[in-house]
Structure 1
């Protein structure tokens, strides 16, 4: 993370929402910058040494949050928490498919927002359970939070996707329920019935398979969850 405390960029066209988030997050010790639209956010990102988290509203004039998220993911792996007043499940699914790390519908409880933010930053900066592993032809370096294919080319994963992968690498051959995966990657404050975890697993699986990972390396256990069936070996 950059600086002495995490820096958050709030991108929302609603002046009251931006002001509220500024107050709430500053009280929690975060440094906060505000942008009312995608062009302003893009300028701020270009002028900063680093932003640790982007809180991005979907409904904005001009370029909306979904389009901006997609463009950001072409060059940045900064964690993104998407928010929307509409609260539609399709927005959640599309947002996660485009690379967002989490989604929170408006109106939201302040405590839930802070919990989500801290959970994302915690998993993004954690070096716990560091180690290098060979899994399905890929090298997974938990300490450096990196995944390399057999040609040593890096694979771009969001922080949420990487944490999902970590969950499976730490527990090979064990069936992991959706509720367990949600709690481990998003925290206890998340909605236990949020099935958008399926979207993230599908996207993670697709990225891995494109780099040579076995198509049956992840298996779905109907009505239960998922299991990593590929062997996990320690790597030097």
Structure 2
């Protein structure tokens, strides 16, 4: 399930978008201000942001620029919503880092189609690109994991698990979600299996001081974080 953050100060519009996105199977969080939006992005990195241009305080345009200038949010997909229909405004929105641009009023069906298109465009990059989180590097092409040029010896299941964690950093994943996304439709695998492979993954990462990057979130599941990286060096 993809997580979408809707940043919109008009509550009626935010609620309408939210209802339609949830109906389409997305997990939705709403923020009414740029500060709230930044708080939500810092808390859990969404898969995509629907961002209104005009917000109380800092504008959506300034927020998009800030996200593009920060490593953690540089690749965060953003669809900008605005009442500004002039070509110069569209160009300014896209130059600020928006992946797409939708002028109000818009149909929710068009918004959903654009969300699907942006997520599709981003997905192949995540599958093939070299991933780097806190200095831990994973290369899907060569199936190598390294840190400071030291190679991590890792099994195929742990590699897939780490790849999923690293392409979805800072997010909490339940055991059921990990089974679905890493193991696929193997419905007979027990959730306990996830714990076993997480333990093996931590053991594999221990020699390069990255084991603590895999956090257990009590009652919820697991996440990969680089917040503890400074303590692990």
Give the TM-score normalised by structure 2.
0.52
RMSD, aligned CA: 2.4
**Equivalences, count:** 131
Q: Greater RCO between the two (CA within 8 Å, min separation 6)?
A: 1
Look up the match of 1:89: 87
CA separation of 1:27 and 1:91: change in aligned 2, threshold 3 A: same
- Matched residues in 1 for 2:5 and 2:51: separation? 8
Where 1:126 maps in the other structure, the secondary structure is: helix
Look up the match of 2:109: 111
- 1:66 touches 1:95 (CA, 8 Å); kept in 2? yes
- Matched residues in 2 for 1:98 and 1:128: separation? 22
- 1:58 touches 1:66 (CA, 8 Å); kept in 2? yes
Q: Give a deviation string over 1:5-39, Cα, whole Å, max 9, x none.
A: 00000001110111001101001000000000100
> 1:86: Cα distance to partner?
2.3
Look up the match of 2:34: 38
More helix as a share of residues:
2
Look up the match of 1:7: 3
4+ residue runs over 2 A deviation: 126-132, 141-144
> 1:126: Cα distance to partner?
2.5
Q: Give a deviation string over 1:93-117, Cα, whole Å, max 9, x none.
A: 0111111101010111111110000
- Matched residues in 2 for 1:104 and 1:142: separation? 34
- 1:127 touches 1:142 (CA, 8 Å); kept in 2? no
Unaligned runs of 5+ in 2: 131-138, 143-233
Where 1:78 maps in the other structure, the secondary structure is: coil
Q: Give a deviation string over 1:29-56, Cα, whole Å, max 9, x none.
A: 00000000100011111111x2100000
Where 1:83 maps in the other structure, the secondary structure is: strand
Look up the match of 1:202: none
Look up the match of 2:25: 29
> 1:91: Cα distance to partner?
1.6
Give the TM-score normalised by structure 1.
0.51
Look up the match of 1:59: 54
- 1:69 touches 1:99 (CA, 8 Å); kept in 2? yes
Q: Give a deviation string over 1:191-211, Cα, whole Å, max 9, x none.
A: xxxxxxxxxxxxxxxxxxxxx
Residue from 12, 19, 27 that aligns with 2:15:
19
Structure with the greater alpha carbon radius of gyration: 2
Look up the match of 1:123: 121
> 1:72: Cα distance to partner?
1.1
CA separation of 1:125 and 1:37: change in aligned 2, threshold 3 A: same
